[in-house]
Structure 1
Amino acid sequence: MDISKILEPQAIKVVGKMTSKKRLFQDLAEIAAGAYELCLEDTFDALQERESLGPTGVGHGVALPHARIEGLSRVVGAFMRLESPMEFDAVDRQPVDLVFALFAPAESGVDHLKALALVSRTMRDADICAKLRSNNDPATLHAILTESPAIKAA
Structure 2
Amino acid sequence: MTALSRYVQTEDLLLGLEVADKRQLFQTIGLHTERIGNLPADAVASALMRREMAGSTALGLGVAIPHARVSGLNHIRALYVRLVPGLDFDAPDAALVSDALVLLVPSPANQEHLELLAHAASLFSDRAFRGALQACKKPIEIKALFDGWTPEALARCDPSRIGNAR
Please confirm whether the aligned pair reaches a TM-score higher than 0.5, indicating the same fold: yes
Instruction: Quote the residue 1:4 is aligned against.
Output: 5
* C-alpha contact 1:60 1:94 (8 A) present in aligned 2: yes
Q: CA RMSD in A?
A: 1.7
Deviation string 1:64-94 (CA, Å, 9 cap, x unpaired) is 0000011211211111112321211111111
> How many equivalent pairs are there?
151
Instruction: Quote the residue 2:137 is aligned against.
Output: 136
Unaligned runs of 5+ in 1: none
- TM-score, structure 2 as length reference: 0.84
Identical columns (%): 26
Instruction: Quote the residue 2:106 is aligned against.
Output: 105
Residue 117 (structure 2) pairs with residue 149 (structure 1): no
Q: Which has the larger radius of gyration?
A: 2
Q: Report the AA paired with residue 121 of structure 2.
A: S
**Which range moved further: 107-116 or 95-104?**
107-116
Structure number with higher helix proportion: 2
Unaligned runs of 5+ in 2: 153-166
**Is the alpha carbon distance of 1:73 and 1:84 closer, same or farther for their aligned partners in structure 2, counting shifts above 3 Å?**
same
Moved over 6 A (4+): none
Instruction: Quote the residue 1:87 is aligned against.
Output: 88
* C-alpha contact 2:17 2:81 (8 A) present in aligned 1: no
Q: Report the AA paired with residue 106 of structure 2.
A: P
